[in-house]
């Protein structure tokens, strides 16, 4: 028996092949009916045949559908413009792309769409084990909105990520959440994004969705 999240659906699959679906809500459950995984068990799972993305939060397995071209275009645009601003403003650090991951304890493993780790933060972490990031970027669609905006966002906060960017490809806007200050700003298509982690950068939102 195992639990999976797919799109906006949590599935509980039993050995008897019975399937219970809970539509519209993405839930982390501690029900004893749900099998939980250790990181090693998670890493030993076979790759989904449709290239869906598997993630682990407190031992519960979540599966999201593979990204489409619109998602990939937004990720590429954010990467390009963020890297350009980092270089122009003289910041150090690295932007990590899929399938770079963050993981903590023995039961939580997430793969952001993008993440920025400063040189200073990288020095504080063990080699080959990223437990947090300065900035995490998630590209949000209708099918992943609740998972990205609530479940993953709360997990990133617990992992001490400093700032989360939620790039909404339907609304064509970017929400920036500073977990350090508690401030949230939403930047529409005619605005320029600003970051508390990287205060000198300025990214025109329209460039991300053009």
Per residue in 73-99, pLDDT tens? 999 999 999 999 999 999 999 999 999
Is 1 buried (19+), middle (13-18) or exposed (0-12) by CB count in 10 A? exposed
Bridge-partner residues for 110, per DSSP?
102
SS3 of residue 43 by DSSP: helix
Rounded to 10 degrees, what is the CA torsion of 64, 70, 73, 75? -30
**Where in the chain are the domains?**
2-64, 69-209
Which residues, other chains included, contact 51 with Cβ-Cβ below 8 Å and sequence gap of 6+? 66
Q: For 12-16, 29-33, 80-84, 195-199, which range has the lowest pLDDT when averaged over its residues?
A: 12-16
Which residues, other chains included, contact 153 with Cβ-Cβ below 8 Å and sequence gap of 6+? 164, 166, 177
| Interstrand relation of 173-178 and 114-117 (parallel, antiparallel or unpaired) | unpaired
Per-residue pLDDT reduced to its tens digit, 154-188: 999 999 999 999 999 999 999 999 999 999 999 99
DSSP-derived letter for residue 107 is T
Q: Which CATH architecture best describes the domain 69-209?
A: Alpha-Beta Complex (3.90)
Q: For 4-8, 63-67, 71-75, 104-108, which range has the lowest pLDDT when averaged over its residues?
A: 4-8
- pTM given for the model: 0.86
């Amino acid at each position: 028996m195992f639990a999976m999240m797919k799109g906006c659906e949590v599935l509980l699959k039993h050995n008897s092949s019975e399937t219970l679906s809970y539509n519209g809500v993405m839930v982390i459950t501690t029900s004893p009916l749900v099998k939980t995984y250790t990181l090693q068990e998670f890493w030993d799972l076979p790759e989904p045949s449709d290239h869906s993305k598997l993630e682990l939060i407190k031992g519960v397995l979540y599966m999201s559908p593979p990204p489409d071209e619109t998602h990939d275009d937004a990720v590429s645009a954010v990467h390009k413009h963020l890297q350009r601003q980092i270089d122009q403003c003289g910041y150090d650090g690295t932007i990590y792309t899929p399938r770079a991951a963050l993981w903590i304890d023995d039961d939580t493993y997430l793969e952001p769409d993008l993440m920025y780790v400063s040189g200073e933060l990288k020095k504080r972490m063990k080699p080959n084990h990223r437990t947090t990031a300065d900035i995490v970027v998630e590209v949000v669609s209708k099918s992943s909105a609740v998972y990205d905006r609530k479940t993953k966002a709360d997990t990133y906060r617990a992992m001490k990520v400093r700032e989360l960017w939620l790039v909404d490809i339907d609304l064509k806007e970017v929400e920036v959440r500073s977990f350090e200050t508690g401030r949230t700003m939403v930047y529409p298509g005619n605005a320029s994004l600003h970051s508390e982690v990287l205060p000198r950068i300025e990214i025109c939102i329209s460039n991300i969705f053009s």
